[in-house]
Structure 1
Amino acid sequence: MPTKKISCVIIDDDSIIRNLMSAMLRQLNIEVLAQVGHAHEGLKSCMDLSPRVVLLDIHLPESDGMELLPQLLKLTPQPKVIMVSSEATGEIVREAIGLGASGFVVKPFTPARLLDAIGKALGVKL
């Protein structure tokens, strides 16, 4: 495990997925600072908490993750944003990476896949 604690904000409209990701991350010694279900709440949480990693769903109320991603990267201290979605066409993944995402995890996922994506985004072996 890394010596510096990794902090994370989860932005996903599905409370079951948020709770699942949160439980997985906590087992992996990653601090979950917030888990929110709306784009506006997510942006505010990231601005207030400055996480190192953001797990961002594509489909959200009010806005979608692809619209939120550039705002998040512009207004916050550059967290590593990993998109999380069941939609993973090559076009969607390329768009997300082009907008500044550091990774993409396809739902359903395993703890190992989530950990791998976070490690690659941060450039560390977890």
Structure 2
Amino acid sequence: MEKLKKLSVIVVDDDNMMREMLKYILRSEDYPVIGEASNGQDAIALCAKQKPGLVLLDINMPKMDGMQVLEGIRKISPATIVLMVSAEATMNKVHEAIEKGADGFVVKPLNSASVLDKIAMCIERKGSQ
């Protein structure tokens, strides 16, 4: 199988430890992390400027929650893959995220295999559209 071109990534989470863990997981597979944000407003500004290939997005954050950010990203950068990352994985939240355009959902607590598998699935799905 040919090696997939690694998408540029922005990590958005209000928890610094979670951002560090996600960046560590991404870098272990050579994904270029081009930015990070700890709140929704910063996330949208960063996405507008950087146009990343992938955003890992928390739901519960200050200033703007992840669902609002998701809608904002869809407006400014529709091709960006958005993967929601949250402990709040109720069916309602997952359904709402998918309805608003999320490409996938990873449930906290994370393990690197599940994060990387979900990213690969989203990239594959986007590529086959």
| Pairwise TM-score range, normalised by the shorter structure | over 0.9
* Cα shift at 1:23: 0.7
* Cα shift at 1:38: 1.1
- TM superposition score normalised by structure 1: 0.93
RMSD, aligned α-carbons: 1.3
Query: Could you say which residue in structure 1 is the equivalent of 2:11?
Result: 10
Q: Tell me how far apart the structure 2 counterparts of residues 119 and 3 of structure 1 sit (CA, whole Å).
A: 9
Query: Could you say which residue in structure 2 is the equivalent of 1:90?
Result: 91
- TM superposition score normalised by structure 2: 0.91
* Cα shift at 1:3: 4.2
Does 2:128 correspond to 1:100?
no
Percent of aligned pairs with the same amino acid: 38
1:65-113 CA-partner distances (Å, limit 9, x unpaired): 0111111111125200000000001111011001000000000111111
Which residue type is aligned with residue 47 of structure 2? C
Answer whether contact 1:54 1:79 (CA < 8 A) is retained: yes
Which residue type is aligned with residue 116 of structure 1? D
Where does 1:29-48 land on structure 2 (aligned, <5 Å)? 29-48=30-49
SS across alignment from 1:6: coil
Q: Tell me how far apart the structure 2 counterparts of residues 36 and 63 of structure 1 sit (CA, whole Å).
A: 12
Answer whether contact 1:34 1:45 (CA < 8 A) is retained: yes
1:32-77 CA-partner distances (Å, limit 9, x unpaired): 1111101111111111111111000001110100111111111125
Which residue type is aligned with residue 13 of structure 1? D
Gaps of 5+ in 2: none
Query: Could you say which residue in structure 1 is the equivalent of 2:117?
Result: 116
Gaps of 5+ in 1: none
Q: Tell me how far apart the structure 2 counterparts of residues 4 and 56 of structure 1 sit (CA, whole Å).
A: 21
Does 2:64 correspond to 1:59?
no
Answer whether contact 1:50 1:77 (CA < 8 A) is retained: no
Aligned residues: 124
Moved over 6 A (4+): none
